[in-house]
Structure 1
């Protein structure tokens, strides 16, 4: 049997040598390389961009503006009806507006940046020293007064402090603790806040800069302009927005106050600590990522988000990122534990710190996928 096999092997080798000799007889001495499969993929992102722009970004800012108006009305009602029920309604109005702002941080580009609306609405930390000095003064609080002040004494966190108290022992301020001066300051802040949210909404739908520019949405919907040369530029802006907020939540908002040990955890760095709304903030930030990724904000249809584009290039990656987004939201919400512990307490609790670290790790995995897999995939997109 071995002799027969050896004979067969010899025949095969001889045939191979003949074949090789035949191909080398070309005058050039070169061989034709085998065809290489293209790594490019195609996808028409027109509907994706239109959906995310109008049904996620623009709709979100319009709802934020509506919620800001409701907060202003609630603040005025609090002055006219100084009771616990009116205070509770004003607190709820603050939380309602906060949802749509935090979700909108997944696309913090364009007018929210160029018109400095972000610092006007959401500067942190709050300058409590200057705020208390103003409250103790005889300054008349009007919208014009507030607009002339530093960002550190206006916006979300100023109103939060006035409505909820210092957040150290609890987040349930009693109406008896609230002065008329505080309510007057709250009303002026809420009026200015509503002015800026209206400016933001208008910049996206009417004009990005007075009458000098078109609505910012038009830059995304009709690329080939000085902001976005093509659909690729728009998609890169959206992806970078997701990376930015995932990084900010994981490595900033959570990790910085969490620090390396329980003993050096820093509660002063916890955003939205007065209302104990921090974990909701963080969760809403990543829900904003989910909105852009799935294209499903305020609707239940099959309108495309970024996932549709990624799926065209790598279906496995598209599914993985979707799962990682959901996992990050779940991990953030799990920090509170069975006792619904606020974040400022959780970073000082041994068991809760394990859950905090799990959330940081989950966000890190999502960020890595976006940076190291999604971004390179865009280079393979044949726009």
Structure 2
């Protein structure tokens, strides 16, 4: 084991990973007769028992629709649902009336694409994004560009997987009506300088949207301090249930944006000659929401707030350093993305082995990793590869799991080569 890897074994004194792991029931199971090593956290996180119990209790004791009934169950469900909005708003330091509850980042970005961008775009206009984006921060812009006659521009990255910030800023030309960037890359783990980008966008009068899906689970996020205009994030990557997430947007934008979906709960009054809409954020929340999911997401925020977020970040950085050092010891391994500032996401390839074959065999050893293009085709094309293997860590992972992963990787590599 290298000196760097050995040094990484020392956990911060303030963080007790064994105690935390006891809160996550699924981590105790076996797969194919082997102890589970779950390293697919960028895809979805595991859920603490408190979140599972909260969702269960909601259905057992409080299940009713929200905002539509004066009976006791309806009031309880509404209080819990709106309470989740309050918790999420506090978690990212947003005013509650600027936080739209969505099914996740994809819906949040589509809301901005169709409600904010499309009415403002025309021939000759442009949207700026980057080559490292998830498809959710590319495809909606291509769709509205096709409808409006606008174009989508892609800022380049370097071979370390870092955004070339100077080039991004140079591309903020007058025809750009909206700029977009990932806070953290889901493939590379690269942390982008969002505050700097937001400051330069503001100087040019260009709104900035940030995809925060991979940032919120790993670092404290203050949307007001970042200085962006829109910030989207996903609940199931931050210990919450699937089908949950949020869009924060400046109040002035929300007030100027027309509704994206129409139906119940987003109206003030409906007449045969027209409709008046509810105030933001509710005018963007048509239909029955994922009530139990958001109640569970509120419990996920409660769980985070029992932990020291700085200690979490420090532990994850040690996991990242240890995993990176151990992987570098493997012959024929190519790391994809070696940015100076990263969150605990590692993409790589092994010479002579297909990523999907490796992932399939690793599963038989109890190790869950991701293989494929990770919804980032332009990024794969930049690096000249069809797919990568991705190991993504969370604060409940251990150094021993990293070592087990590397041992399994060495074992299955011998079977393929």
TM range (shorter): under 0.3
- Greater share of strand residues, 1 or 2? 2
Which structure shows the higher helix fraction?
A: 1
Answer with 1 or 2: which has the greater Rg. Answer: 1
Question: If the length of structure 1 is used for normalisation, what is the TM-score?
Answer: 0.24
TM-score for the superposition, normalised by structure 2: 0.23
